[in-house]
Amino acid sequence: MAQTSNKRRVAENEAMAKVRMLRTSPQKLNLVAQMIRGKKVQTALDDLTFSRKRIAKDVYKCLYSAASNAENNHGLDLDSLVVAEAYVGKNLVMKRFRARARGRGAKILKPFSELTIVVRQVEEAA
């Protein structure tokens, strides 16, 4: 009574990587994800290397993981990979309070987000 294997979430010419619990707001993370959408993987990795945003280092790791998954797990060609999708989702929000004057408190929200990157192999047009 072996368990049946799960169906693939992406197509045969795609690979995916997902990062949860990134300590940044989804709005800031989406700015970096927007920068790499639709680009070739090597170009996107170069852009993330020289980006001045703090979260770009974590996006780099996720994109590198997606490319490695494509090459090692699915046998796709690394040179013909393109960032097909890069989307951002909300995760939990830590809530903290800061003491203010007259016995009041101010709310501090520390949001987390998650990132999903899908890379797709495209054939070069001759």
The model's pLDDT over 40-86, given as tens digits with 9 standing for 90+, comes to 999 999 999 999 999 999 999 999 999 999 999 999 999 999 999 99
Ordered structural domains, the chain, with CATH: 14-121 (3.90.470.10)
Whole-angstrom CA distances from 57 to 46, 65, 70 are 11, 12, 20
* DSSP category for residue 102: G
Whole-angstrom CA distances from 76 to 23, 39, 70, 113, 120 are 31, 17, 5, 29, 9
The model's pLDDT over 93-123, given as tens digits with 9 standing for 90+, comes to 999 999 999 999 999 999 999 999 999 999 8
